[in-house]
Amino acid sequence: MATRKLTDARRQYLSWRISEERRKLKLKAIEYKGGCCEKCGYKKCPASLVFHHMDPSKKDYGISSSSSRKWVKIKSELDKCALLCANCHNELHHEVFKIKREETYKKVREKVPERKKTSGTFTFNCEKCNRKITRYKSQSKNRFFCSRKCSNEIIYNESWSDVSEDKLIELIETLSAKEISIILDKNLSSVYRKIKYTRRLLTNKKD
């Protein structure tokens, strides 16, 4: 027997018919469960109402996938559910997930103990401008500056402390920045910055 070929119009009709049957089934199920959300009484839009299984372990199938089952069997599954609106349903699941997250956190902390926080602070003076700043005791081994500007000036000058000003001026007048960086074993960007700073100092001295 030859199989029947469906036309596009027939496919569209069957698709509409199935969705219509599911819509009617949901309306019937909503009416069976009282017609509104059991927590807040919402009933404006049927699409916003869902069937929540109070005990997931007793769930046999989802109500949305039961359009081919008999109404007697569907009713037995509905008796295990509560009719809730989307907001109340999400709130209920949020509480369930919150409990699960707390249980998971406890299990993780049994294997990985929480790091103890060091309490208390101390006051220090900026190495550049002597401004007082407060920091935590856990940071007491670090070098402290009140700003990035102060930090850069101190650390930058320390990196050039082994090069005298006269030697640097001599190198600037005779060599390129790249050659200076190779001779002094300095970063090229640092050399450019030092050259710019030195030339500005020389210009101020002449003025």
Three-state DSSP class for residue 97: helix
Tally Cβ neighbours within 10 Å of residue 22: 14
- What is the predicted pLDDT for the residue at 183? 84
CA dist 180 → 157, 158, 193, 199 (Å): 17, 18, 12, 15
Token pair belonging to 37? 């959300």
pLDDT grade for 205, boundaries at 50, 70 and 90: low
Is residue 9 scored above 80 in pLDDT?
yes
Closest CA to 116 of 138, 101, 148, 94: 138
Per domain, the residue ranges of the chain are 8-111, 120-147, 160-207
pLDDT grade for 174, boundaries at 50, 70 and 90: confident
Q: Distance between CA atoms of 80 and 57, rounded to whole angstroms?
A: 11
Is residue 203 scored above 80 in pLDDT?
no
How many whole angstroms from its chain centre is CA 27? 39
Q: Going along 6-131, which residue ranges are E strands?
A: 49-53, 81-85, 121-125
> How many Cα atoms occupy the beta-carbon half-sphere of 151 within 13 Å?
7
Residues 126-134, mean pLDDT to the nearest whole number: 77
Asked if 128 and 150 touch (Cβ cutoff 8 Å), the reply is yes
- Share the mean pLDDT of the chain: 80
Q: Distance between CA atoms of 19 and 140, rounded to whole angstroms?
A: 69
CA dist 194 → 47, 51, 164 (Å): 70, 72, 12
Three-state DSSP class for residue 153: helix
* Residue pointed to by tokens 């008796």: 79
